Structure 1
């Protein structure tokens, strides 16, 4: 049986024609939406979500293309644009009765959250992005041999066909590789959760690749247009990151400050999957954010 977040209700919420997101909802109070990253599902928030549910309505969807949510085809390269995925989240929150809400995302979910903050500023009251850079900045800082840590970004940026075939040939080895090398504490992802992640990814190779391919194409165009127009995130923003900027030769705080004038930037000492490795700290940071 697939694990669930204890005490949360699960429902399917339609966010676009023919597309529904499987969503876990729990707690009561001011709403906060939590978006997962790669190669995970909404389950990555299980500890943070149950804590926040003491005084918030907590909404944890599987992103389109991931987990138990729908996985539309992507014939024109827009189905997994972060603009499209961000619109899903705003529609989801409204369908659940929330016109305005706090939004936190990790990894891929943070890119969706970032785009939601730019495209829907009246809907997003507070924004948190965990262990990621905005897409435009990410491609600009990845260079030389240091870029080898992001080999998957380049693989999945290739035209449709080869990446899907290569990954589908050994999905557990591919997705499991990231669960292994990005985790400082292997016990942070129990065996049943790991199995759920791998099973979900095994059945979502084309949509996951399409999500990454969008970040090498249309998402860059959207970010560049906002940069050229000097569009910024006007709401309070919290960014939590490992100290991988120093290793790769860039100043993460400075890059984020250019987008977010109301920035609180904190270095977290753990692996990439910080909501699972340091849930108490992440929860505390999110509480501080929504109190700003």
Structure 2
């Protein structure tokens, strides 16, 4: 199975037809689910998870399509409407959010706090909108909602997100290009986005690259969904005035200064009870400043 979070029990939990998630669980008390980002696995939470497990039940899955979780073919997922099915619902954030709610229920938790980083934050955001009765508290780390992300990615500053445009292309070319040099591609982001490269030790970096190398197709499908069906779902929610009703904490680098928008204002349009904080860490903040991130999450849980 590769690297594990010390002190955590590992299991595979079925969450949908033909889809089981690899999940690490430890601790006792009110449940907290932690969702990883790209190009990582659940291991990115290893420090924060161990901290929170002192007084919470901590659940760290690999998202579908990542790590040791199942990687269904795009278009064969559990879409909830005809449009989603037609556009490849296997990696719609709506489908991935339903995975997480099913996972928590399978472990005995109808209500739980949810924190996500990067791609995991998009899944967490969707879970908060689609399953408000299940999510008690929500944290999103270093991301914008999908619809807003595309709104601000324009002009030459959009070059920072070249991978978003590459993986949005129709099936075939992106997968072949990335599979031709996967360690270079995924390693590029581990190098570029790290404020403290030492926060990701060699054995963890190797584990991330090994996992990504085996998941090129599903990772591209995840990103492709964010240029299609995920945008449709966000836009429908915005038009309907749907908002996040639970306490929400957002931690972000100062993207607004770089890309010319007000990040806090973007999030206020979605959340009634929002704590938005600009932080000085690199993108991989749960690994670069785990004690701070754990403290931010504890403050959220106390609200």
TM above 0.5 = yes
Aligned to 2:170: 159
Aligned to 2:3: 3
C-alpha distance in 2 between matches for 1:49 and 1:106:
13
Aligned to 2:268: 257
C-alpha distance in 1 between matches for 2:149 and 2:97:
19
Deviation at 1:97, TM superposition (A): 0.1
Equivalent of residue 217 in structure 2, options 189, 197, 206: 206
Aligned to 2:55: 55
Aligned to 2:42: 42
Aligned to 1:290: 301
Deviation at 1:270, TM superposition (A): 1.0
Aligned to 2:128: 117
Give 5+ residue unaligned stretches, structure 1.
Answer: none
Is 1:18 equivalent to 2:12 in the alignment?
A: no
C-alpha distance in 2 between matches for 1:267 and 1:143:
22
C-alpha distance in 2 between matches for 1:160 and 1:16:
24
Q: Give the paired residue count.
A: 292
Equivalent of residue 183 in structure 1, options 194, 197, 202: 194
The within-5 A match list for 1:65-84 is 65-75=65-75, 76=86, 77-84=88-95
C-alpha distance in 1 between matches for 2:168 and 2:71:
18
SS in 2 for 1:149: helix
SS in 2 for 1:261: strand
- The normalised TM-score by structure 2 is 0.96
Provide runs of 4+ in structure 1 moved above 4 Å: none
Is 1:142 equivalent to 2:157 in the alignment?
A: no
More off after superposition, 70-79 vs 210-219 = 70-79
Deviation at 1:126, TM superposition (A): 0.2
Q: CA RMSD in A?
A: 0.6
Deviation at 1:89, TM superposition (A): 0.1
More off after superposition, 239-248 vs 203-212 = 239-248
C-alpha distance in 2 between matches for 1:90 and 1:261:
22
Is 1:219 equivalent to 2:230 in the alignment?
A: yes
Deviation at 1:16, TM superposition (A): 0.4
Deviation at 1:142, TM superposition (A): 0.5
SS in 2 for 1:39: coil
Aligned to 2:184: 173
SS in 2 for 1:21: strand
Deviation at 1:41, TM superposition (A): 0.1
Note the alpha carbon deviations across 1:125-171, whole angstroms, 9 max, x for none.
Answer: 00000000000000000000000000000000000000000000000
C-alpha distance in 2 between matches for 1:162 and 1:288:
44
Aligned to 1:267: 278
C-alpha distance in 1 between matches for 2:197 and 2:223:
25
Give 5+ residue unaligned stretches, structure 2.
Answer: 76-85
Deviation at 1:57, TM superposition (A): 0.1
- The normalised TM-score by structure 1 is 0.99
Deviation at 1:268, TM superposition (A): 1.3
Deviation at 1:20, TM superposition (A): 0.1
